[in-house]
Structure 1
Amino acid sequence: MTGTGRISPQQVSPEIYKAIAVVDQKLYGSSLGKALIELVKVRISQINGCAFCLDMHSQAAIKAGVSERKLILLGGWHEAAIWSERERAALGWAEAVTKIGGSRASDAEYDALVDLFDTKEIADLTMLIGLMNLWNRLAIAMRYQIQSEVE
């Protein structure tokens, strides 16, 4: 995965890495749905600039039923009227929590969730966001490499 001389957390600390992966997999069993989960993961990876995670989760989003059009427009989601209310609220919360140093996870962003998600979904979404930020930081810090395309 790394190919840059940096350590591979998966190999060096397999117990903790596996525990994180188990939590990640459990989130797919939540009522958030795979498409929304992958959409949120892609948006967080865009914000953090994680090419490895963008590559992985863009492909997973398409498999989960997210349209290519939505993926293309995701960076400008505020401007495009193609998102459901739940998607807009989740993307807003993902941005607020990912950029928490500036946003402090505002009441406005949180309040947008309350009518659209139940309390467990809000908790699951928030844990998903935190976990995806962890994955991005691991992949960026350890220089995880995407596979090159065959030409």
Structure 2
Amino acid sequence: MHLRMNASKANPAAYQAMQKLDGTAKELIADNVIYELVKIRASQINGCAFCVDMHTTDLRAMGESERRLNLIVVWRESPQFTEKERAALALTEAVTLVSEGGVPQSVYDEARKHFDESEFVALLLAINAINGWNRIAIATGMFPDCFAK
């Protein structure tokens, strides 16, 4: 594996724009665990090893159990997640895979049971941000520890 380019150095303004989008989403989502779950699940779907590694490390540092970290990929088959977390994960999957079936009404309705309009939009912002980061990381060849010296 090799890093194709360092996007932050190749175009600092573009990288800062992504950071601002992501930072805004993080500020607007009150639950840091849900924020990280969204990041991890979208990154798993998109196959972004760099982002999966980063966000599982972040969630682990927040005190998350290894058991829950291991079960994110199969959250539907695990009772380890709250109804609110499950709603966020379902929305993450639907938005990440939007071309395959849109966002079903049932997914929207379940998310709205747990998130008001403002929180719902913040969640969409976070999902969109991580999908953008995944695409930048994959296109530029980022992988875990690619920036380690």
Query: Which residue number in structure 2 is paired with residue 126 of structure 1?
Result: 124
Flag the structure with more relative contact order, 1 or 2, with Cα contacts below 8 A and sequence separation at least 6. 2
Measure the CA separation in 1 of the matches of 2:15 and 2:91: 26
TM-score with structure 1 setting the length: 0.90
Deviation, structure 1 residue 26 = 2.3
Residue 74 of structure 1 pairs with residue 72 of structure 2: yes
Deviation, structure 1 residue 28 = 2.1
* Gap regions ≥5 residues in structure 2: none
Deviation, structure 1 residue 61 = 1.0
Deviation, structure 1 residue 35 = 1.1
1:26 corresponds to which letter in structure 2?
Answer: T
CA RMSD of the aligned region, Å? 1.6
Runs (4+) off by over 4 Å:
none
Deviation, structure 1 residue 39 = 1.0
Equivalent of 1:46 in 44, 47, 57:
44
Residue 28 of structure 1 pairs with residue 23 of structure 2: no
Give a deviation string over 1:72-128, Cα, whole Å, max 9, x none: 011110011111111000000000000111121111111111111111110000111
TM-score with structure 2 setting the length: 0.91
Query: Which residue number in structure 2 is paired with residue 7 of structure 1?
Result: 5
Instruction: Determine what percentage of the aligned residue pairs are the same residue.
Output: 37
Query: Which residue number in structure 2 is paired with residue 115 of structure 1?
Result: 113
SS at match of 2:77: coil
Alignment of 1:75-94 (within 5 A): 75-94=73-92
State the number of aligned residues: 146
Equivalent of 1:65 in 63, 66, 81:
63
Contact 1:24–1:128 (CA under 8 A) maintained in structure 2:
yes
Contact 1:73–1:80 (CA under 8 A) maintained in structure 2:
yes
Measure the CA separation in 2 of the matches of 1:35 and 1:13: 30
* Gap regions ≥5 residues in structure 1: none
Measure the CA separation in 1 of the matches of 2:86 and 2:70: 16
Contact 1:44–1:132 (CA under 8 A) maintained in structure 2:
yes
Measure the CA separation in 1 of the matches of 2:29 and 2:126: 12
